[in-house]
Amino acid sequence: MPQAALLQEVLEEPWRLRSGVEALLRPLRPSDLNLHWGLFHNCSTQSLYQRFFQAPERSKVTDSEVARFTNFDCSRELAVAAVQTTGGGPELGVVRLVHLGSDIFEFAVLIADPWHRQGLGRKLVQKAIAIAGAGQVRRLEGYVLASNRPMLTLCRQLGFALERLGGEGLYQVHLELAGDGRPTVTGGGPIAPADR
Partner 1 sequence: MNLAHLLDDQLRHRPEKVAFEGDGRSLSYAQLARLSENFAASLTAAGYGPGDRLAVVLPNVPEYALAMFALWRLGAVPVLINPQLTGRELDYILRDSQARAVILPEALLGVLAPLRSELPNLRAIVLGVPADKDLNFAGLAAIPGQCPVAERHGDDIAQIMYTSGTTGTPKGALISHGNLLANARSGVERLSVTGDDHLFCILPVFHAFAFTAALVIMPLAGGSVSFEYRLSPKKLTEHLSDPRVSVMVAVPSLLSTILRFPSELKLSAALRCILCGGGPLPPQLEAAFVQRFGDLVRQGYGMTECSPYAAFSPLDRPSKPGSIGLPMPQGHKLAVRDPISGNFAAPGEVGELVVSGPHIFKGYLNQPEATAQAFVDGWLRSGDLGYCDEEGYFFLVDRLKDMIIVGGEKVYSREVEDVLLTFAPLREVAVVGQPDPDKGEVVRAFVSLQEGATIGEEEIVRFARERLASVKVPKSVTILAELPKSATGKILKRELRKQFAPK
Binding site for partner 1 (CB under 8 A): 46, 49, 51-57, 60, 68-69, 77, 96, 98-100, 106-108, 142-143, 145-147, 149, 152-153, 156, 162, 164-170, 188, 190-191, 193-194
**For residue 113, which of 39, 50, 43 has the smallest C-alpha distance?**
43
Distance (Å, whole) CA 20 – CA 40: 23
Work out how close the CB of 73 gets to partner 1 at its nearest, in angstroms, rounded to a whole number. Answer: 11
Smaller CB separation from partner 1, 19 or 143: 143
Angle at 52 between CA 166 and CA 122, to 5 degrees: 90
Work out how close the CB of 165 gets to partner 1 at its nearest, in angstroms, rounded to a whole number. Answer: 6
> Residue 189 burial (CB < 10 Å; 0-12/13-18/19+)?
exposed
| Residues 82 and 120: beta-carbon distance below 8 Å | yes
Smaller CB separation from partner 1, 17 or 77: 77
Q: Give the number of other CB atoms < 10 A from CB of residue 35.
A: 18
Q: How do strand 139-145 and strand 104-111 relate by DSSP bridges?
A: parallel
Work out how close the CB of 41 gets to partner 1 at its nearest, in angstroms, rounded to a whole number. Answer: 17
> What CA dihedral angle connects 48, 62, 91 and 52, to 10 degrees?
-20
Work out how close the CB of 185 gets to partner 1 at its nearest, in angstroms, rounded to a whole number. Answer: 17
Distance (Å, whole) CA 79 – CA 43: 18
Work out how close the CB of 63 gets to partner 1 at its nearest, in angstroms, rounded to a whole number. Answer: 12
Smaller CB separation from partner 1, 8 or 196: 196
Work out how close the CB of 145 gets to partner 1 at its nearest, in angstroms, rounded to a whole number. Answer: 8
Smaller CB separation from partner 1, 75 or 147: 147
Smaller CB separation from partner 1, 56 or 181: 56
Smaller CB separation from partner 1, 24 or 104: 104
Furthest C-alpha separation in the chain: 49
